[in-house]
Amino acid sequence: MQFGKTKWLKMSQLRYQELTAKQKKLLMIGGCVVGIALLWPRQDFELDKRIPVAIDLSHLTAPAADPLPQSLTMNAGPSFDQIVENGDTLSKLFAEAGVDQQTMYKVLEADLNVLVLDTLMPGNRIEFWVNDQGQLNKLKLRFSAAKQAIFTRASDGSYDVKIQEIKGIWQQHVVTGDIHGSFYLSAEKAGLSAAQIQHIESLLKEKINFSRDLRAGDKFSVVLSKQYVEGEATGESHILGIEIASGKQVYSAYRFTDGNFYDEHGHSLTRAFQRLPLAHMYRISSKFNPHRLHPVTGKIAPHNGVDFAVPIGTQVLATGDGIVSLVVPHHKYAGTYVVINNGGKYRTRFLHLSKILVKKGQHVSRGQVIALSGNTGRTTGPHLHYEFLINGHPVNPMTAKIPMENGLNHAERTQFAQLVKSRKLMMTLS
Ligand SMILES: [Zn+2]
């Protein structure tokens, strides 16, 4: 599916018109249909609907022969500055910027530590600083007002990468609606994004059968926290509270300060992870090590995951419930890889695969076979590289504190009760 920027803008305008019309209707009828906060940003976008730029290494063009006109320093503006469009490829953008293929590979090599290049979407900005010798001094990817990645050339010609994140301001919004038709469509109509709806469905999936239990006229209310930087919505949001009232039943979920979700009695809704992405333990050929000496390049490079020495074709399992957020058929160094968003602050990545068995946007359950291991990308032999990220930062998957099916302790329970009270109030008032 291709989803261009223009189409997306139209969608967003449409949604806004639809909303405004509804708000008018609400004023006239005085009904209780839509309670979207009035602060609903017009230029808000949905990360989940943006399509990654296909990285096509087979269509590389020769480096541009023309010398660049002016001498550029690191402080001057970029020599090439572009908003990524639908259909752009990384190789095309590098060629247009006058940067050769070898340099692009060096950038991809640095990207292996962060894997941000495959998350570049139409609407993102890419800036190149190329000096008059045609060397790429700096490359900047702007994902949103809150997040950018900067690649800078080191003295040996390799690249270092830094992710810059701005905290911004998080504002709370309440979205309410009635159920008519499916929950998905009703929630989408009320202004929730696909990712938010999928998150709600996966949090409450053991309490509600979304295709059977809900009736027309049932109500839902969701408290969201949305990020703004300099008044601009970045597209980042968290769900803080959910209530779905169906007949006499109320189903709820609240995000606690630990980033995990609980029902209103403090029982965990985040299912425990399994430690291994495999059916049984295999030899670990390379441990998680933020200061590893790389076996191929001989450089100090973090090893952000654990390598299991598994033969090609070994079944790779989802370690927790989640939604497939990225499927990459070919990264020069990471090979074929898949990323699972495990809800809230958790993400897992599986690299060097031979085959991916799931699709982007698909729900997966803990223990489900999602791929077959392989030997793709830069490797010294067949293995599975497994990463576990908490708030975007890699942790040791073998030792990290990951959610268990325990409830809250006494002190946390008191704090949680306060939090439920205030969020309930927000949902009632809206
Ligand atoms: Zn590895």
Tell me: do 301 and 389 sit in the same domain. Answer: yes
CA of 147 to the centre of ligand 1 (A): 25
| Helix (DSSP H) and strand (DSSP E) numbers for the chain | 6, 20
* d(C-alpha 3, C-alpha 52), whole Å: 10
Contact at 8 Å (CB) between 310 and 373? yes
Residue after which a domain boundary falls, among 165, 186, 210: 165
pLDDT of 76 > 90? The answer is no
**Adjacent-strand bridge partners of 173:** 224
Nearest to 175 by CA among 342, 352, 38, 367: 38
What's the mean pLDDT in 2-21?
A: 40
Q: What is the band of 340 on the pLDDT scale with cuts at 50, 70, 90?
A: very high
Is there a domain that residue 65 lies in?
no
Backbone angles phi, psi at 407, to 5 degrees: -85, -165
Q: What is the band of 406 on the pLDDT scale with cuts at 50, 70, 90?
A: low
Is there a domain that residue 307 lies in?
yes
What's the mean pLDDT in 217-242?
A: 93
Contact at 8 Å (CB) between 87 and 56? no
CA of 129: how far to CAs of 104, 316, 427, in Å?
13, 40, 49
CA angle 281, 343, 408 (to 5 degrees): 85
CA of 311 to the centre of ligand 1 (A): 15
Q: In whole numbers, what is the pLDDT of the chain averaged over residues?
A: 83
CA of 384 to the centre of ligand 1 (A): 7
* d(C-alpha 249, C-alpha 239), whole Å: 21
* d(C-alpha 162, C-alpha 302), whole Å: 13
* d(C-alpha 268, C-alpha 72), whole Å: 55
- H-assigned helices in 97-211: 101-111, 183-190, 194-203
pLDDT of 264 > 60? The answer is yes
The pLDDT assigned to 272 comes to 83
Q: What is the band of 430 on the pLDDT scale with cuts at 50, 70, 90?
A: low
Is there a domain that residue 403 lies in?
no
Residues 6+ apart with CB under 8 A from 17: none
CATH assignment at residue 420: 3.10.450.350
Contact at 8 Å (CB) between 340 and 389? no
CA of 110 to the centre of ligand 1 (A): 14
Residue after which a domain boundary falls, among 128, 145, 165: 165
What's the mean pLDDT in 71-77?
A: 59
Radius of gyration from C-alpha coordinates of the chain: 23
The label of the residue with tokens 């909303």 reads 19
Nearest to 127 by CA among 194, 178, 74, 179: 74
CA of 298: how far to CAs of 119, 158, 200, 301, 331, in Å?
28, 12, 45, 9, 21
CA of 322 to the centre of ligand 1 (A): 22
Is there a domain that residue 191 lies in?
yes
CA of 115 to the centre of ligand 1 (A): 13
Is there a domain that residue 47 lies in?
no
CA of 352 to the centre of ligand 1 (A): 9
CA of 329 to the centre of ligand 1 (A): 17
pLDDT of 343 > 50? The answer is yes
Tell me: do 161 and 194 sit in the same domain. Answer: no
The pLDDT assigned to 46 comes to 36
Tell me: do 155 and 197 sit in the same domain. Answer: no
CA of 156 to the centre of ligand 1 (A): 23
The pLDDT assigned to 410 comes to 79
Tell me: do 330 and 390 sit in the same domain. Answer: yes
Nearest to 315 by CA among 372, 389, 400: 372
pLDDT of 52 > 80? The answer is no
Q: Which helix (H) or strand (E) holds 420?
A: helix 410-429
CA of 307 to the centre of ligand 1 (A): 5
pLDDT of 342 > 60? The answer is yes
Tell me: do 388 and 326 sit in the same domain. Answer: yes
Contact at 8 Å (CB) between 93 and 125? no
CA of 337 to the centre of ligand 1 (A): 12
The pLDDT assigned to 354 comes to 98
pLDDT of 392 > 70? The answer is yes
* d(C-alpha 156, C-alpha 84), whole Å: 29
Structural domain of 123: 76-165
Tell me: do 174 and 265 sit in the same domain. Answer: yes
Which amino acid, one-letter code, is at 286?
S
CA of 129 to the centre of ligand 1 (A): 31
CA of 400 to the centre of ligand 1 (A): 17
CATH assignment at residue 313: 2.70.70.10
Q: What is the four-CA torsion angle of 149, 152, 154, 160, rounded to 10 degrees?
A: 0
Is there a domain that residue 8 lies in?
no
- The more confidently predicted of residues 223 and 211 is 223
Number of structural domains in the chain: 3
Tell me: do 159 and 221 sit in the same domain. Answer: no
CA of 393 to the centre of ligand 1 (A): 16
Tokens of 264: 């209103």
CA of 63 to the centre of ligand 1 (A): 31
Tell me: do 338 and 300 sit in the same domain. Answer: yes
Q: What is the DSSP letter of 426?
A: H
CA of 108 to the centre of ligand 1 (A): 15
pTM for this prediction: 0.72
Is there a domain that residue 57 lies in?
no
Which amino acid, one-letter code, is at 166?
I
Tell me: do 294 and 390 sit in the same domain. Answer: yes
CA of 426 to the centre of ligand 1 (A): 45
CA of 53 to the centre of ligand 1 (A): 24
- The more confidently predicted of residues 66 and 291 is 291
CA of 366 to the centre of ligand 1 (A): 22
**Adjacent-strand bridge partners of 395:** 388
The pLDDT assigned to 42 comes to 37
Is there a domain that residue 53 lies in?
no
Tokens of 102: 């070898």
Find how far residue 228's CA is from the centre of its chain. 17
CA of 288 to the centre of ligand 1 (A): 8
Tell me: do 119 and 200 sit in the same domain. Answer: no
CA of 385 to the centre of ligand 1 (A): 4
Residue after which a domain boundary falls, among 165, 194, 225: 165
Residues 6+ apart with CB under 8 A from 109: 158, 159, 297, 332, 333
CA of 348 to the centre of ligand 1 (A): 13
Tell me: do 126 and 102 sit in the same domain. Answer: yes
CA of 291 to the centre of ligand 1 (A): 13
